[in-house]
């Protein structure tokens, strides 16, 4: 097990609640990482204030200042590489990444998505999950931590939190319950990576020296 902390960079676009969960875990010595920087594509992202309060280095690569995804991705990659991270963590980063960007960080870039992948890739996951629940096709919802590949929300899944959908759920209440579970499982997956227990080989997830054929599941039934 490594004795030094894993250098990471965290990318955000919004309020940064998953960023805060990671910051809190490092503060409690539950997460052996060195957050080298927090980078946002939006200068008004609330997560930048969270990072500043934690005395973390921040940077903004505003996507609106670039004429295409390729030039934005190149600038973002250059900024990230200045901090020499061994892991890039997407924490509510709401921009599509180019194949070149993803391939540059292959095997060392994680994302958390608010659904039980491969179900409900993309946006509006809670609305879509509730619609499927009302149709009787799904009973559970949740969040997934996965390695990032060129396919949107299609990388190999590492860890999932599952919870039952209820008749009283609205998209807002469901989102709140799922977000609470995100804050638990994301630091856990990052910890596995930091402790050299987790890696990606080809398109297969390895955990503790074994191929992970199905995600680790935390079921909150």
Catalytic site residue from 57, 63, 67, 113:
113
Segments in the chain below pLDDT 50: none
Query: What span, in angstroms and rounded, lies between the C-alpha atoms of 62 and 53?
Result: 21
- Which DSSP state fits 216? E
113 is catalytic: yes
Domains delineated in the chain = 1-105 (3.40.50.170)
Q: How many Å is the Cα radius of gyration of the chain?
A: 17
Express each pLDDT in 1-33 by its tens digit: 566 899 999 999 999 999 999 999 999 888 999
Residues 47 and 11 sit within 8 Å (Cβ to Cβ): no
The answer to whether the CB of 119 falls within 8 A of the CB of 160 is no
- pLDDT score recorded for residue 1: 59
The predicted pLDDT at position 3 comes to: 67
pLDDT of residue 175: 97
């Amino acid at each position: 097990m490594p004795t030094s902390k894993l250098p990471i960079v965290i990318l955000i676009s919004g309020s940064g609640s998953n960023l805060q969960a990671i910051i809190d875990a490092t503060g409690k010595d539950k997460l052996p990482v060195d957050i080298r920087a927090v980078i946002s594509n939006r200068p008004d992202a609330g997560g930048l204030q969270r990072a500043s309060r934690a005395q973390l280095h921040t940077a903004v690569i505003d996507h609106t200042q670039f004429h295409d995804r390729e030039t934005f991705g190149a600038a973002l990659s250059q900024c990230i590489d200045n901090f020499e991270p061994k892991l890039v963590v997407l924490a509510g980063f709401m921009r599509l990444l180019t194949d070149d960007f993803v391939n540059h960080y292959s095997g060392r870039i994680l994302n958390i998505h608010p659904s039980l992948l491969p179900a409900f890739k993309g946006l509006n996951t809670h609305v879509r999950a509730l619609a499927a629940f009302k149709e009787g096709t799904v009973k559970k919802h949740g969040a997934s931590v996965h390695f990032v590949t060129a396919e949107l929300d299609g990388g190999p899944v590492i860890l999932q939190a599952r919870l039952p959908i209820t008749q009283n759920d609205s998209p807002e209440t469901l989102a709140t319950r799922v977000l609470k579970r995100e804050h638990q499982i994301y630091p856990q997956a990052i910890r596995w990576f930091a402790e050299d227990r987790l890696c990606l080989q080809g398109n297969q997830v390895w955990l503790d020296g074994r191929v992970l054929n199905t995600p680790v599941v935390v079921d909150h039934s």
